[in-house]
A = this chain, B = another copy of it.
Amino acid sequence: MHNYKITVAYDGTRYKGWQSQKTTDATIQGKLETILEKAAGRPIAVIGSGRTDAGVHAKGQTANFYLQDAWEAEELLELFNQYLPEDIAVLSVKEAKERFHSRFSATEKTYQYRIHTGKVPEVFERKYVYSYGRPLHVENMKKAAEYMTGTKDFASFCGNRHMKKSTVRSIYEIRFEETPSKEFVSPYGSCGEIRILYRGSGFLQSMVRIMTGTLIEVGEGKRQPEDIPVILEAKDRALAGFTAPAQGLMLMEVRYN
Protein backbone atom coordinates (compact mmCIF):
# COMPACT_ATOMS: atom_id res chain seq x y z
CA MET A 1 0.00 0.00 0.00
CA HIS A 2 1.15 3.52 -0.80
CA ASN A 3 0.22 6.36 1.51
CA TYR A 4 -0.15 9.79 -0.12
CA LYS A 5 -0.24 13.09 1.75
CA ILE A 6 -1.92 15.99 0.00
CA THR A 7 -2.44 19.68 0.80
CA VAL A 8 -5.70 21.14 -0.37
CA ALA A 9 -7.01 24.70 -0.84
CA TYR A 10 -10.71 25.43 -1.11
CA ASP A 11 -13.23 28.20 -1.19
CA GLY A 12 -15.79 26.65 1.17
CA THR A 13 -18.68 28.90 0.12
CA ARG A 14 -20.53 26.23 -1.89
CA TYR A 15 -19.78 23.28 0.40
CA LYS A 16 -21.29 21.59 3.42
CA GLY A 17 -17.80 21.42 4.87
CA TRP A 18 -14.87 19.05 4.52
CA GLN A 19 -17.01 16.08 5.46
CA SER A 20 -20.70 15.59 6.12
CA GLN A 21 -22.61 12.69 7.59
CA LYS A 22 -25.56 13.26 5.28
CA THR A 23 -24.05 13.88 1.87
CA THR A 24 -20.76 13.37 0.09
CA ASP A 25 -21.41 15.34 -3.06
CA ALA A 26 -21.38 18.77 -1.47
CA THR A 27 -18.23 18.14 0.59
CA ILE A 28 -14.57 18.67 -0.26
CA GLN A 29 -13.70 15.14 0.89
CA GLY A 30 -16.46 13.79 -1.37
CA LYS A 31 -15.09 15.63 -4.42
CA LEU A 32 -11.60 14.20 -3.83
CA GLU A 33 -12.89 10.67 -3.21
CA THR A 34 -14.97 10.69 -6.40
CA ILE A 35 -11.88 11.46 -8.48
CA LEU A 36 -9.79 8.79 -6.72
CA GLU A 37 -12.52 6.16 -7.07
CA LYS A 38 -12.67 6.71 -10.82
CA ALA A 39 -8.88 6.53 -11.13
CA ALA A 40 -8.32 3.55 -8.82
CA GLY A 41 -11.42 1.60 -9.81
CA ARG A 42 -12.52 1.17 -6.19
CA PRO A 43 -13.64 3.43 -3.34
CA ILE A 44 -10.74 5.26 -1.68
CA ALA A 45 -11.18 6.97 1.70
CA VAL A 46 -9.58 10.41 2.01
CA ILE A 47 -8.66 11.18 5.63
CA GLY A 48 -8.63 14.89 6.46
CA SER A 49 -6.60 16.51 9.26
CA GLY A 50 -9.93 17.59 10.68
CA ARG A 51 -13.40 18.63 9.56
CA THR A 52 -13.96 22.21 8.60
CA ASP A 53 -17.51 23.53 9.08
CA ALA A 54 -19.80 24.34 6.15
CA GLY A 55 -18.64 27.56 4.49
CA VAL A 56 -15.15 27.54 6.05
CA HIS A 57 -12.20 27.93 3.66
CA ALA A 58 -8.73 26.38 3.59
CA LYS A 59 -5.38 27.41 2.16
CA GLY A 60 -3.57 24.45 3.69
CA GLN A 61 -5.86 21.59 4.65
CA THR A 62 -4.00 18.28 4.63
CA ALA A 63 -5.28 14.80 4.00
CA ASN A 64 -3.97 11.34 3.23
CA PHE A 65 -5.18 8.24 1.42
CA TYR A 66 -3.89 4.79 0.52
CA LEU A 67 -3.51 3.42 -2.99
CA GLN A 68 -2.65 -0.16 -3.87
CA ASP A 69 -0.66 0.87 -6.93
CA ALA A 70 2.28 3.25 -6.93
CA TRP A 71 1.46 6.56 -8.58
CA GLU A 72 3.81 9.39 -9.40
CA ALA A 73 3.04 12.32 -7.09
CA GLU A 74 3.03 14.64 -10.10
CA GLU A 75 0.55 12.38 -11.89
CA LEU A 76 -1.87 12.47 -8.95
CA LEU A 77 -1.53 16.26 -8.66
CA GLU A 78 -2.51 16.67 -12.30
CA LEU A 79 -5.34 14.16 -12.01
CA PHE A 80 -6.92 16.03 -9.10
CA ASN A 81 -6.59 19.48 -10.61
CA GLN A 82 -7.91 18.33 -13.95
CA TYR A 83 -11.20 17.09 -12.48
CA LEU A 84 -11.70 19.26 -9.40
CA PRO A 85 -14.11 22.22 -9.64
CA GLU A 86 -12.46 25.65 -9.74
CA ASP A 87 -13.08 26.31 -6.03
CA ILE A 88 -10.92 23.36 -4.92
CA ALA A 89 -7.25 22.77 -5.78
CA VAL A 90 -4.70 20.21 -4.65
CA LEU A 91 -1.51 22.18 -3.96
CA SER A 92 0.88 19.29 -3.40
CA VAL A 93 1.08 15.50 -3.35
CA LYS A 94 3.81 13.55 -1.57
CA GLU A 95 4.23 9.89 -0.79
CA ALA A 96 4.31 9.54 3.01
CA LYS A 97 5.34 6.82 5.44
CA GLU A 98 2.72 4.14 5.84
CA ARG A 99 2.04 5.17 9.45
CA PHE A 100 1.41 8.82 8.57
CA HIS A 101 -2.15 9.84 9.47
CA SER A 102 -3.24 13.38 8.59
CA ARG A 103 -5.31 13.72 11.76
CA PHE A 104 -3.42 11.71 14.41
CA SER A 105 0.05 12.81 13.28
CA ALA A 106 -0.84 16.53 13.25
CA THR A 107 1.01 18.53 15.91
CA GLU A 108 -0.09 22.08 15.14
CA LYS A 109 -2.80 23.92 13.25
CA THR A 110 -3.16 27.55 12.28
CA TYR A 111 -6.47 29.22 11.52
CA GLN A 112 -7.05 32.78 10.37
CA TYR A 113 -10.21 34.76 10.99
CA ARG A 114 -10.80 37.94 8.96
CA ILE A 115 -13.14 40.69 10.17
CA HIS A 116 -13.87 43.56 7.81
CA THR A 117 -14.42 46.56 10.08
CA GLY A 118 -14.36 49.24 7.38
CA LYS A 119 -17.51 51.16 6.59
CA VAL A 120 -17.29 50.57 2.84
CA PRO A 121 -18.03 46.95 1.91
CA GLU A 122 -15.14 44.82 0.66
CA VAL A 123 -15.86 43.77 -2.94
CA PHE A 124 -13.10 41.37 -3.96
CA GLU A 125 -12.55 39.53 -0.68
CA ARG A 126 -16.23 39.56 0.26
CA LYS A 127 -16.56 35.77 0.40
CA TYR A 128 -13.54 35.39 2.71
CA VAL A 129 -14.23 38.03 5.35
CA TYR A 130 -16.91 38.60 7.95
CA SER A 131 -18.43 41.93 6.91
CA TYR A 132 -18.75 43.52 10.30
CA GLY A 133 -18.64 47.14 9.11
CA ARG A 134 -17.86 48.88 12.41
CA PRO A 135 -14.68 49.47 14.40
CA LEU A 136 -13.70 47.21 17.31
CA HIS A 137 -11.61 47.90 20.40
CA VAL A 138 -8.64 45.77 19.36
CA GLU A 139 -6.50 46.44 22.45
CA ASN A 140 -9.16 44.88 24.67
CA MET A 141 -9.53 41.97 22.24
CA LYS A 142 -5.78 41.35 22.52
CA LYS A 143 -6.00 41.32 26.32
CA ALA A 144 -8.90 38.87 26.17
CA ALA A 145 -6.97 36.66 23.73
CA GLU A 146 -4.10 36.38 26.21
CA TYR A 147 -6.47 34.66 28.64
CA MET A 148 -7.33 32.18 25.87
CA THR A 149 -3.75 31.05 25.27
CA GLY A 150 -2.13 28.13 27.05
CA THR A 151 -3.23 24.58 27.82
CA LYS A 152 -6.81 24.81 29.04
CA ASP A 153 -10.18 23.12 29.08
CA PHE A 154 -12.05 24.82 26.23
CA ALA A 155 -15.45 23.15 26.90
CA SER A 156 -17.10 26.61 26.92
CA PHE A 157 -15.79 27.15 23.38
CA CYS A 158 -16.92 23.79 21.97
CA GLY A 159 -19.77 23.73 19.43
CA ASN A 160 -20.47 20.03 20.00
CA ARG A 161 -22.82 19.62 22.96
CA HIS A 162 -22.33 15.88 23.05
CA MET A 163 -18.53 15.98 23.16
CA LYS A 164 -17.46 13.06 25.32
CA LYS A 165 -13.70 13.21 24.81
CA SER A 166 -11.32 15.65 26.43
CA THR A 167 -11.94 19.30 25.67
CA VAL A 168 -8.42 20.28 26.78
CA ARG A 169 -6.40 21.94 24.03
CA SER A 170 -3.17 23.97 23.85
CA ILE A 171 -3.37 27.36 22.18
CA TYR A 172 0.19 28.50 21.47
CA GLU A 173 -0.58 31.92 20.08
CA ILE A 174 -3.39 34.30 19.12
CA ARG A 175 -1.98 37.06 16.95
CA PHE A 176 -3.72 40.18 15.61
CA GLU A 177 -2.97 41.86 12.32
CA GLU A 178 -4.66 45.11 11.40
CA THR A 179 -5.00 46.60 7.95
CA PRO A 180 -5.74 50.28 8.14
CA SER A 181 -8.18 51.65 5.65
CA LYS A 182 -8.07 55.04 4.01
CA GLU A 183 -11.78 55.60 4.00
CA PHE A 184 -12.56 55.51 7.68
CA VAL A 185 -10.89 56.54 10.91
CA SER A 186 -12.46 54.97 13.94
CA PRO A 187 -12.59 56.40 17.44
CA TYR A 188 -10.39 53.48 18.55
CA GLY A 189 -7.86 53.99 15.78
CA SER A 190 -8.75 50.57 14.41
CA CYS A 191 -10.46 50.14 11.09
CA GLY A 192 -10.29 48.36 7.75
CA GLU A 193 -9.62 44.74 8.54
CA ILE A 194 -8.63 42.72 11.58
CA ARG A 195 -7.04 39.32 11.05
CA ILE A 196 -6.79 37.00 14.03
CA LEU A 197 -4.37 34.10 13.73
CA TYR A 198 -4.93 31.14 16.06
CA ARG A 199 -2.11 28.64 16.41
CA GLY A 200 -2.63 25.57 18.59
CA SER A 201 -2.26 21.83 19.09
CA GLY A 202 -5.77 21.31 17.79
CA PHE A 203 -9.22 22.86 17.95
CA LEU A 204 -12.67 21.65 19.04
CA GLN A 205 -15.72 21.88 16.80
CA SER A 206 -16.44 25.54 15.90
CA MET A 207 -13.89 26.54 18.56
CA VAL A 208 -12.19 29.25 16.51
CA ARG A 209 -15.54 30.73 15.51
CA ILE A 210 -16.78 30.81 19.13
CA MET A 211 -13.48 32.30 20.33
CA THR A 212 -13.75 34.93 17.58
CA GLY A 213 -17.39 35.69 18.42
CA THR A 214 -16.41 36.13 22.07
CA LEU A 215 -13.47 38.37 21.14
CA ILE A 216 -15.76 40.48 18.94
CA GLU A 217 -18.12 40.96 21.91
CA VAL A 218 -15.09 42.12 23.92
CA GLY A 219 -14.21 44.49 21.06
CA GLU A 220 -17.76 45.86 21.18
CA GLY A 221 -17.43 46.54 24.92
CA LYS A 222 -20.18 44.04 25.76
CA ARG A 223 -17.64 41.92 27.63
CA GLN A 224 -14.40 42.64 29.46
CA PRO A 225 -11.11 40.81 28.90
CA GLU A 226 -11.34 39.63 32.52
CA ASP A 227 -14.56 37.76 31.69
CA ILE A 228 -12.59 35.13 29.76
CA PRO A 229 -11.19 33.20 32.76
CA VAL A 230 -14.73 33.09 34.21
CA ILE A 231 -16.11 31.70 30.92
CA LEU A 232 -13.34 29.08 30.74
CA GLU A 233 -13.86 28.07 34.36
CA ALA A 234 -17.61 27.52 33.87
CA LYS A 235 -17.10 24.91 31.11
CA ASP A 236 -20.45 26.01 29.69
CA ARG A 237 -20.95 26.94 26.03
CA ALA A 238 -23.81 29.25 26.97
CA LEU A 239 -21.44 31.66 28.71
CA ALA A 240 -19.19 32.26 25.69
CA GLY A 241 -20.02 34.60 22.80
CA PHE A 242 -21.74 34.00 19.48
CA THR A 243 -20.37 31.71 16.78
CA ALA A 244 -18.74 34.06 14.25
CA PRO A 245 -19.81 33.37 10.63
CA ALA A 246 -18.02 30.54 8.80
CA GLN A 247 -17.05 32.66 5.80
CA GLY A 248 -14.41 34.65 7.72
CA LEU A 249 -12.51 31.51 8.71
CA MET A 250 -9.58 29.95 6.85
CA LEU A 251 -7.54 26.87 7.81
CA MET A 252 -4.04 28.11 6.99
CA GLU A 253 -1.65 25.32 7.88
CA VAL A 254 -1.38 21.89 9.49
CA ARG A 255 2.01 20.93 10.83
CA TYR A 256 3.61 17.55 11.45
CA ASN A 257 6.81 16.59 13.23
Residues of A within 8 A of B (CB): 9-11, 57, 59, 77, 81, 84, 86-92, 119-124, 126, 128, 183
Contacts and interface: CB of A to CB of B under 8 A. Distances in A.
Given A88-B123, A89-B121, 5 more contacts: A59-B124, A86-B121, A86-B123, A90-B120, A92-B183
A59 B90 CA distance: 30
A135 B81 CA distance: 17
A205 B132 CA distance: 38
Interface SS of chain A: loop
Contacts of A59: 124
A91 B182 CA distance: 10
A192 to B, nearest CB: 12
Contact of A87 (B86, B120, B126): B126
Contact of A124 (B9, B90, B92, B121): B9
A122 B183 contact: no
The 7 closest A-B pairs by CB, nearest first: A9-B123, A89-B121, A89-B123, A86-B126, A11-B123, A89-B120, A91-B120
